[in-house]
A and B are shown apart, each in its own frame.
Chain A
Amino acid sequence: MTRFLRWALATLLAAALTAAAAQTVTVFAASSLTDAFTALAHSFEAANPSVHVVLDFAASSTLATQILQGAPADVFASANEVQMQRVTEAGLQTGPPTPFAGNRLVVLVPAGSGLRAFRDLARPGLLLVLAAQQVPAGRYADLMFDAAARAYGADFVQKVRSNIVSREPNVRQTAAKVALGAADAAIVYATDADGLSGVRSIGVPASLQPTILYPLVTLKGAAAPAAVRAFRDFVLSPAGRTALAGFGFTAPP
């Protein structure tokens, strides 16, 4: 028994020491950043072997709610300014948010789909899927429909909206519904189409595109503030920009 206790204590002590040596940066990032931030974190960890990056991806609205409820995030990368504001209005940031990437909307359809153009979304009986209203991708889609109402008339948008069959909890789930063949079309980011097979994207006219901007902020209460700053600087660095561009994100204005 004493031998077991001694062994257990030694193991615990070793674990505690390793944990103290390895610094952790917890990053909460928008769903659409899943692939890009996973790659960024790998490059960052390769350059900083003593730092471990923990990633959590969900809708920015979900992440903002979790941060407001005390989730231990060190960095928040949001897909729009509304969700970023919820966090900054609570005064949880250590500095001002910085825009680090842009994006654009596309219509995602199955590869064999007969849909060709944006205006085909008004076809009756089409199963159209959007992200939820509070989710940035869903909010951008609503803004796009507002622009479409001005350009093509309220009647067109009325027809498109009547085709909406679901508003999904985040943009990746929205894209997945098309990839699974369950929906005929989804409004997602151009970057979401890249990693999926069996799908293609239809462009949304430039005149209808909302301004999509991703802000990033560091948050209070980090256990390793220097490592957190280093991660932020890495995302904003030329190397970070290049990596993001490789995943289809545009440069912020």
Chain B
Amino acid sequence: MRARLSPGLLVGSGLVLMLLLVLPTLALLLRSARPALGSALLDPTVTAALRLSLTTTAVSLLATVVFGTPVAYLLARYAFRGKVVLEALLDLPLVLPPVVAGLALLLLVGRRGLLGAPLAAIGVHVAFTSTAVVLAQLFVASPLYIRSMKAAFRSTPRSLEAAAITLHATRLRAFRRVTLPLTLPAFVEGCVLTWTRALGEFGATIVVAGSLAGRTQTMPLAIYAELERNLDAALAMGAILTLAAFGLLLLFRRLTRSA
């Protein structure tokens, strides 16, 4: 009896799925590798979408880290009534179809929405603005960060923090100097996953923020619109997103391996 299956069998049976996972990306990159696509990148629609995607995802990532870290810590370290329900609710956006997320957000912040109506009364409009783009990204992507950090906080022994405190470190200092460095790989993972998910956000965004070049038309929305107008621009943007995502995943592998 052999302890392991032969690599040949594994490769053979896995090949079908592996090809399916790799070939589409390859087809996109092959089709995109043309000099004409360089000039497509200078199209004002493309540059506007690129700028908007970078700024909105930067804001949503920052907000995720600032507001998500305490949530993850709370869920990892404290027990309270209804925690199971709360955790399920916070994971819900991950399994919800994005278009449903967009509809839910629109019914919240839209002109006649739950919060949108009172906000409109004081002259604040959220739907169809860049703020709505950020909200959509936060809604669908931040749970990924919370999950990563929650697991990391849980696996960091409390005794290490306690030891630091007995050595006259303040609680905050113990958290900063002991807990945070130990959770660094999870932090990087959470950030990469959240950022790439936000960058790719389409369904929720198009419903709650609409699609207007320069204001709410992020890269995925621009790709969808340009498919029917300027295929080169769509291909160029598709290639950029693919390469950026792949680069980040590679970087993440390296970082976690060295950590």
B137 at the interface (CB under 8 A from A): no
Stretch from A26-34, A41-49, A163-171 contacting the other chain? A163-171
Contact call A166/B228, Cβ cutoff below 8 A: no
Q: How many A-B residue pairs have CB under 8 A?
A: 66
Segment of A6-14, A127-135, A199-207 engaged in the interface with chain B: A127-135
Docked-complex contact B106 and A169, CB < 8 angstroms: no
Residue contact A65 to B111, C-beta cutoff 8 Å: no
Partner of A62, one of B113, B128, B209, B228: B228
Q: Given A180-B110, A182-B106, A183-B111, A65–B228 Cβ distance below 8 Å? A: yes
Q: Tell me which residues across on chain B come within 8 A of A61, comparing CB atoms.
A: 228-229
A165 lies within 8 A of B210 (CB) = yes
Give the shortest distance, in Å, between A249 (CB) and chain B (any CB): 24
A39 to chain B, nearest CB (A): 26
- Scan residues 199-231 of chain B and give those whose CB is less than 8 A from a CB of chain A: 206, 209-213, 215-216, 224-225, 227-229
Instruction: Select B212's contact among A59, A134, A167, A184, beta carbons within 8 Å.
Output: A167
Judged by a CB distance under 8 angstroms, whether B127 is at the interface is: yes
Interface 0/1 of A168-200, CB less than 8 Å to B: 110000000100111110000000000000000
Q: Is the CB of A183 within 8 A of B224?
A: no
8 Å CB interface, B87-146 against A? 106-107, 110-113, 125, 127-129
**Cβ B107 vs Cβ A180 within 8 A:** yes
Chain B residues contacting A134 (CB-CB under 8 Å) are 225, 228-229
Instruction: From known contacts A65-B227, A127-B125, A183-B128, infer whether A166 and B212 are also in contact, taking CB-CB under 8 Å.
Output: yes
B111 touches A184 (CB 8 A): yes
The distance in angstroms between the C-alpha atoms of A236 and B215, with both chains bound, is 43
**A182 and B111 contacting across the interface, CB-CB below 8 Å:** yes
Known contacts A127-B125, A180-B106, A183-B128; A169/B225 CB under 8 A: yes
Q: Contacts of B225 on A, CB cut-off 8 Å? A: 132, 134, 167, 169
Are A127's CB and B216's CB within 8 A? no
From B208, which residue of chain A is reached at the shortest CB distance?
Answer: A182
Nearest-neighbour CB distance to chain A for B76, whole angstroms, equals 38
A127 and B111 contact, CB distance less than 8 A: yes
**Distance between Cα atoms of A64 and B107 in the complex (Å):** 33
Which of B125, B206, B212 has the most A CB atoms < 10 Å from its CB?
Answer: B212
On whether the beta carbons of B212 and A181 are closer than 8 Å, the reply is no
- Chain A residues with Cβ below 8 Å from B110 are 180-182
* B interface residues, Cβ below 8 angstroms from A: 106-107, 110-113, 125, 127-129, 206, 209-213, 215-216, 224-225, 227-229
A sample of 5 cross-chain residue pairs with beta-carbon separation below 8 angstroms, ordered by A number, consists of: A135-B228, A166-B128, A166-B212, A168-B206, A181-B112
| Residue ranges of A at the interface with B (Cβ–Cβ < 8 Å) | 59, 61-62, 64-65, 110, 127, 129, 132-135, 164-169, 177, 180-184
Smallest CB-CB A-B distances: 4 pairs: A166-B210, A181-B112, A165-B128, A182-B110
